[in-house]
Amino acid sequence: MSKQPPSPQLFASAAAFEEEPSQAAIPAAFGRNSWKSLGWAKKNLFNTRLNTVLTLACLYFLWRTIPPMVEWALVNATWLGTPDECRAATGACWAIIVEKHRLIFFGTYPYEQQWRPFAACLLFVAMLAASGYRPFWRPWLAAAWVATLTAMGVLMWGGVFGLTLVENDKWGGLPITLMLSVFSIVLAFPLAILLALGRQSDLPAVKALCVGFIELMRGVPLVSVLFMASVMFPLFMPDGVVVDKLLRALAGLTLFTAAYLAEAVRGGLQAVPKGQYEAADALCLTYWQKMGLIILPQALRMVIPPIVNQFISCFKDTSLVTIVGLYDLLTAATVATTDPEWRPFFGEVYVFAGLLFWGFCYSMSRYSQWLEVALNRHNRR
């Protein structure tokens, strides 16, 4: 980096893939592919002295970490069995996951009723996947979501259609994580649009209120908002009115998410060309017509990727409700590690929980990257 001029590849590794080594004089016996990969390796791994050193150092690091990890996680692992069998083995003890998976996924939900949260989660993930498919982006999708969320509520709560009633202090695990994240973003969305419009408003009082709210929420940590929701909120209510713990946390998450979403929506509002606002004014549209028919459809289209990213961080943030004593996936995983017999194998539980979260977040972030490209395609020439 210090002596040689910055080569083009230094700043654009992708460019290296486009050029292929010359294939003019390939000995037939050597095989085309191995020659090609040798050329590729020379170009991408050993092109300078520094890169050779880096490559060797990385290879050494990988050689020292990957094989032991594979051995621990796969080769020597115990997949089924008792804690004693796990102690005897040198590898990971996935048996604890097999043993405790009900607890990790569904918490303290009554055991024989756990098909209900399972069905609810399946429904949820299916809807999430369906919502990613762009041809489905029609008004009926919103209706389908309302139906899904209602169905989930019925499944979880019960009390109708012959399902036994399960109070929500018994809920736990994955359904809580999924529901809190989806409900908070869905409820935050309309609020965020209002806040973003208010922040751009000409009316000083409205603007001040919205700016104050957004900056307050973005300036404090989510933990403090959750504390407020769980400890202070009961004090705000008249005597005798008791709002459920889960709902209080949901309210806190919603307000917090709304402030961040509002900033994303504001970005979209600012990106709509000024001519659009002026054209709407020239047509004598009212404020709500202008916003609803002209500005918001364009602005919201632009901010879909940031909204997906906000959803990802909201999904990760729901793990914080464990601090105020709600039973989400992370709490359930922690509880699963407290069984004295299985105590030594808490690492496996955290790895499993981490993989679950990672799977959800990574697939959504890949989706959001793809979406960003797909939505901008019409802008490219």
Partner 1 sequence: MHSLARTLNSARTRGYIYQALILGGVAVVGWFLVSNTLDNLERRGVATGFAFLSREASFEIGESLIPFSAADTYLRAFIVGLLNTLTVSAVGVLLASVLGLAVGIARLSSNWIVSRMAAAFVEIVRNIPLLLQLIVWYTIIGKLPGPRDALEPLPDVFLTNRGLKLPWPQEDPAHGLILAAAAVGIVGAFIVARWARRRRETTGQRFPTPYAVAGLALGLPGLAFIAAGMPLVWDVPRLQGFNFAGGVTLTPEFAALLVGLSVYTAGFIAEIVRSGILSVPHGQTEAGLALGLKPGQILRLIILPQALRVIVPPLTSQYLNLTKNSSLAVAIGYPDLVSISNTTANQTGQVIEMVSMMMAVYLVVSLAISAFMNWRNQRAALVTR
Binding site for partner 1 (CB under 8 A): 2-13, 16, 44-45, 47, 51, 54-55, 58-59, 62, 202-206, 209, 215-216, 218-224, 227-228, 231-232, 234-239, 312, 316-317, 319-320, 322-323, 330, 334, 346-347, 350, 353-354, 357-358, 361-362, 365
Which CB sits closer to partner 1, 53 or 147?
A: 53
Which CB sits closer to partner 1, 61 or 115?
A: 61
CB of 157 to partner 1, least distance (A): 27
Which CB sits closer to partner 1, 69 or 142?
A: 69
Record the tokens describing residue 188, joined without a space: 């935050």
Which CB sits closer to partner 1, 9 or 108?
A: 9
Which CB sits closer to partner 1, 149 or 330?
A: 330
CB of 288 to partner 1, least distance (A): 12
Which CB sits closer to partner 1, 139 or 238?
A: 238
CB of 318 to partner 1, least distance (A): 8
Tell me the H-state helices in the chain: 8-11, 15-18, 32-44, 49-70, 83-88, 95-106, 115-131, 139-157, 174-199, 204-219, 222-227, 233-236, 245-271, 274-282, 287-289, 296-302, 304-317, 329-336, 346-376
CB of 201 to partner 1, least distance (A): 9
- The conformation of residue 89, written as its DSSP 8-state character, comes to S
Contacts of residue 47, Cβ cutoff 8 Å, sequence gap at least 6: 9
- Residue 286's φ and ψ, nearest 5 degrees, are -75, 170
The CA-based dihedral angle spanning residues 150, 152, 155, 156, taken in that order and rounded to the nearest 10 degrees: -110
Q: Say how far residue 346 (Cα) sits from the centre of its chain.
A: 24
Residue length of the chain: 381
- The structure tokens 């115990």 sit at 78
CB of 155 to partner 1, least distance (A): 26
CB of 43 to partner 1, least distance (A): 9
